[in-house]
Structure formats: C-alpha cells, structure tokens
Structure 1
Amino acid sequence: MSYRPASRLFTTFRPIFRQPLLRRRVQTAAPNQAEAQSGFAKLWNSPVGPKTVHFWAPILKWAVVLTGVSDFARPASQLSLTQNLALLSTGAIWTRWCFIIKPRNLFLAAVNFFLFLVGSTQVTRIFLYKQSLKGAGEETKAEGKELKEELQEVAGKVEKAVKQ
C-alpha cells in the first residue's frame, strides 16, 4: 500500500475510470414491430416527424410561400425585385441543401422548391414590366416629337394671326 493519497484514490476508483465515459444507447426493435406500426406511428417516430424541427420548419415556411402567391394579384409595378430575387435564390439554394443534409427532408425540399417557383414567377413579371416600360418610353418619345412639331406649327400660325 502506498502512502500517497492520490495513488490510493486512483487504485480504489480504477474500475470506474476504465469504463467508457459516454455510452450510446442502442435502440433495438424487432423487425416485425417496426412493420406492425401504423402510418401515423411511423410518421410520429420518423426522424423528420412532428417531434422534430425538421417537421415544423417547413410547416411555418409555407406562410412565406403563400404570401408570395398572394402577391400574384399585385401589379408588377409594386413588386420589389430584390425581395423576389432573394426568394428565388434562397428557394434554389435550400432545395439543393435539403437533398444533402441528413435526414433527407423531402417536405422541406418541396417548400423551398415552391418558394423558388414563386420567386422566379415574380422576377419574370418584374422584368417583363420593365421591358414594357422601355418600349413605352420609346413610343412616348416619338409621340412627344410629333406633338412638339404640331405645337410649333400651331405657334407659327398664332404668331402670323397676331401679326396681321
């Protein structure tokens, strides 16, 4: 026996130190038990089920998609290009990411894909509106030149009438 107290403590508690610190609990379920679960029980116990954030995040993200869909009724002049580009890009990026992460969350991928569709539809509407403004601007310039010529003719006639 040693006179060093630390050595005595170590030898006393040696069996405790030899055990692994973290033990993983392994859930062993019989294969027939998993097959016997109902559809709701499978959803409830799945890695993307209602007990996880992987389920509730897409549910709440549908509000963003529905808000974008409600903007279809607004005129394109009132839409924000930067906001809809953000919807388009985040929808595309996160749709791809949903297939990479584990557990693979198809519900979240669907929400992000629809977000991409909404954003791309709105960006297309905005670009078409801006193109129509450019075409209308050229038409108004041509009409403005015609009106200017007509006004100059009328002004010339008025000056002649005033001089007489």
Structure 2
Amino acid sequence: MSTSRVGLRFFQNSRAAFRGAFRRSGAQGRRFQSSDAAAAEQQSTFQRLWNSPVGVKTVHFWAPVMKWALVIAGISDFQRPAEKLSLTQNGALTATGAIWTRWCLIIKPKNYLLAAVNFFLGCVGVVQVTRIFNYRRSLEGGSAKEAAKDLEHELADSAKAVAKEAVDVVKKKSH
C-alpha cells in the first residue's frame, strides 16, 4: 500500500515539474494575475516600457524604429519626377506594407508600432505607384486600362527576371 502512495506522489510531482518546464518564465497561474496587475500599476511608465514584451530592449521596438527610414526615404521621393521612380521598387514597398501590417496584428505579442510603420510604408508605396501610373498614362495619351496593362506587364516581367536569377543562383550553388 505504501508503495502505491509513493508512486502516486512521484507521478503528481513529476506532472507538476513537466507543466513547469513548458511554462513561460515569469508566468504564473490565473489566481496570481491580480497581484501582477497591481505590481504593473506600481511600476513607472519607463519601467513598463522597459519590461514590456515589445519594449525598448527588444527587437520588437528597434526594428520598427529603423524601418521608419524607409518611410522617410519614400516621402522624400515625392519630390522626384515620376519618370525617375521605379515601379518595381514602389510595388515592393506597397506589397511589403500591406502584408506586414496584417501580420503585425496577428502575431503575439501584437506589435502596433511595427504595424503603424508598415501601414505608412504601404501608403507611401501606393502614392508612388499612382504617380507612376498617372505619368505613364499622360505620356501615352491612352486610357487608364492601357496604362494599367503596361504596368502589369512590366511588373510581371521584372518578377520573372528575379525568379530566373534566383533559379540560376541555386543551380550554380548545387553544381
């Protein structure tokens, strides 16, 4: 009888250790959340920012801060003539902004700072692509549909060229 009790205790203790091994560090059970909230309220704004999962000491903070340079560079290109703008580059900025804005709102922890910079990056890309579209439409004197088809073909051709280069690089590395 005593051996079965020892075995049961061992099983209970090992189960608790197993659960603890997969728990996030610093995570506590539900019954302790109110004390965590009280401790968070006692921290200063700087301490909360510093200890946040997306705080100043993490890449979740510094990556968006550095990415603002792309937004600023795109805004400075508003002064450039539309004929000197790259459709491929601005199309990539638009796609990057749209895709990563959505992703930043799905991941945990949600990174609103990164979502904001990606949203503005997409907006800058849309403005620039629109400028290129309008410029080419005015050159051809044609309709918007013709200009859109030309832009579509140019983007498709550049995407095919990039894919071909990637395949060539992979073939060279494998030989």
Fold-level match, TM-score > 0.5? yes
Matched residue of 1:100: which SS?
A: coil
- Identity across matched positions, percent: 62
Displacement of 1:63 in angstroms is 0.6
**Structure-2 residue corresponding to 1:142:** none
| Residue in 2 that maps onto 1:121 | 127
TM-score by length of 1: 0.67
For residue 32 of structure 1, report the CA deviation from its aligned partner: 2.4
2:75 to 69, 74, 77: 69
Q: State the alpha-carbon separation in 2 of the partners of residues 39 and 123 from structure 1.
A: 41
From 56, 63, 77, the equivalent of 1:57 is 63
Structure-2 separation of matches of 1:133 and 1:107: 40
1:64-89 deviations in Å (ceiling 9; x for gaps)? 11111110010000000010000000
Residue 46, structure 1, aligned to residue 52, structure 2: yes
Runs of 4+ in structure 1 off by over 6 angstroms are none
Residues 69 and 35 (structure 1 numbering): CA distance in 2 closer, same or farther, change over 3 Å?
A: same
Structure 1 vs Structure 2 CA RMSD: 2.0
Number of the residue aligned with 2:95: 89
Letter in 2 for 1:105: N
In the alignment, the residues of structure 2 paired with residue 23 and residue 107 of structure 1 have an alpha-carbon distance, to the nearest angstrom, of 29
Secondary structure of the corresponding residue to residue 61 of structure 2: helix
What whole-Å deviation, never above 9, does each CA across 1:115-158 have from its counterpart, x for those lacking one?
0000000000000000000119xxxxxxxxxxxxxxxxxxxxxx
Alignment: residue pair count: 120
Match of 1:156 in 2: none
TM-score normalised according to structure 2 size = 0.63
Residues of 1 paired with 2:59 and 2:129: CA distance? 30
Q: Aligned equivalents of 1:54 and 1:39: distance in 2?
A: 18
| Deviation at residue 26 of structure 1 after TM alignment | 3.4
